[in-house]
Structure 1
Amino acid sequence: MSGHEVIEPRLRCVLPFEAVPLEVGLLRRAAAKQLSQWGIPAAVEEAELLVTELATNVIKHVGEGVAATLVLEWRDGRLRVEMHDRSEAFPAASPGSWGDECGRGLHLLAALSAAWGTALTAAGKSVWCEVAVDSMGMCRRIERAAEALERYGSAVVPPPHGRYARMRLEDAAVALIADLLHWTAACGGDPDGVLDQAQVRYEGEVAA
């Protein structure tokens, strides 16, 4: 993975890679390093999740070992993440697809992003998403989490209504965290390490 260009008034980074599990972690770290160099560390957490999801989707649904390209672009307070591959088949998420692994991944993508979509390219397609970063970032994250839990919870617990709404959302939160840990292990990561990092980051943000 190499190569980036700076075009004012936007910042743009192009990272070609081979779609294999080993490259996913390297790609995630390269994206985080680039965002830190651009001076937007607030976008790193969301970007890492998006990069991991998009790259893993290429491996599973386009083919392991295929050539792909990650493009990062920062402009006007928004980070755009694009994943380019050589397949013209678009991913699809239906309202009832939470039980499907691909569908769940796309719903997670939608929950983390301010906007997302797909487009045909000369060589295949791109899947893109945008993350807005501003002074209200923490409030936006809480709103996104609530929205994701309401949508996710409908598949794992009965819809939240009345006096038990909060308890049912907490059950959905536990189920979502457990699924993310399973996903981390399936991608070759360390679930305990991810959980520890999340706890440390949360405590640091609360203290700040």
Structure 2
Amino acid sequence: MSSKERVQPQLRCVLPFEAAASELCVLRKAVRTQLGLWGLSVVTDEVQLVASELAANVIKHVGEGAAATLVLEASGDRLRVELHDKSHVVPSRTQAACGAECGRGLHLLAGLAVDWGTVLTATGKAVWCELSLEPAPQCRRVQRAAAMLQQYRRTAVRSSAALEEAATDLIADVLHLLAAQGRDPDDFLDRAQMHFEAEAA
């Protein structure tokens, strides 16, 4: 069953909360519960991370205890996440290019989201992003493993160190790919080891 069949149009959940460090755990739990009810557990980790980072930005830039609202909306092959607060100060996209502390939430949105932005509202602003609900996760390691396997045997790695590094990365990426498909990476490693030992003998 594709995600388009699984997700009904206009599934929407509104979660008002107080922007306080002590409330972040409650917010993450509410996100996990709601996505589970919608059958969208595949993006739970990403959405919890996005929600936590955006809420942390509200705490830092609007103030501890500020009223905020997280909105989740599933439609077609995307999940839209919006965080509304009472401030009219719009974060700059250029913050995503600054240091580790500055713009961390924007870095995260840029890395995980298909699209993101900020809109002013009558009462403040909303920072939003859209995550893909396609079965293949957004993980770069999974995508890289699939591409590497397609190119397998076409590229020669010349130095021993480079070969070791490429092989390690390939194995780790394949493990991510298998885990993303619901398979057991440990089982794969055991079978690969048995194949290797049988062929080496």
The TM-score range, normalised by the shorter chain, is: 0.5 to 0.7
Q: Which amino acid aligns with 2:111?
A: A
Q: Which residue in the other structure is 2:81 paired with?
A: 81
Give runs of ≥4 in structure 1 deviating > 6 Å: none
Q: Report the Cα distance in structure 2 between the residues aligned to 1:40 and 1:85, rounded to whole angstroms.
A: 26
Query: How far did residue 98 of structure 1 move?
Result: 3.7
Q: Which amino acid aligns with 2:184?
A: A
* Preserved CA contact (<8 Å) 1:119 1:127: yes
List runs of 5+ in structure 2 lacking aligned partners.
1-7, 145-158, 169-175, 186-201
Higher relative contact order (CA 8 A, sep 6+): 2
User: How is 1:45-60 mapped onto 2 (pairs within 5 angstroms)?
Assistant: 45-60=45-60
Q: How many residues align?
A: 153
Q: Percent identity?
A: 48
Larger-Rg structure: 2
CA separation of 1:103 and 1:13: change in aligned 2, threshold 3 A: same
Query: How far did residue 143 of structure 1 move?
Result: 5.6
Q: Spell out, residue by residue over 1:176-205, the C-alpha distance to the aligned partner (whole angstroms, 9 max, x if none).
A: xxxxxxxxxxxxxxxxxxxxxxx9xx6995
Match of 1:207 among 177, 184, 187: 184
Q: Report the Cα distance in structure 2 between the residues aligned to 1:145 and 1:89, rounded to whole angstroms.
A: 36
Q: Report the Cα distance in structure 2 between the residues aligned to 1:144 and 1:58, rounded to whole angstroms.
A: 32
Q: Spell out, residue by residue over 1:41-88, the C-alpha distance to the aligned partner (whole angstroms, 9 max, x if none).
A: 111111111111111110011111110000000000211000000001
Q: Report the Cα distance in structure 1 between the residues aligned to 2:86 and 2:32, rounded to whole angstroms.
A: 25
Q: Report the Cα distance in structure 1 between the residues aligned to 2:96 and 2:56, rounded to whole angstroms.
A: 22
Q: Which amino acid aligns with 1:134?
A: E
RMSD of Structure 2 on Structure 1 (CA): 3.2
Q: Which residue in the other structure is 2:140 paired with?
A: 142
Q: Spell out, residue by residue over 1:115-155, the C-alpha distance to the aligned partner (whole angstroms, 9 max, x if none).
A: 10000001000000010111222xx3126997xxxxxxxxx
SS of corresponding position for 1:64:
coil
Q: Report whether the alignment pairs 1:104 with 2:104.
A: yes
Query: How far did residue 95 of structure 1 move?
Result: 7.1
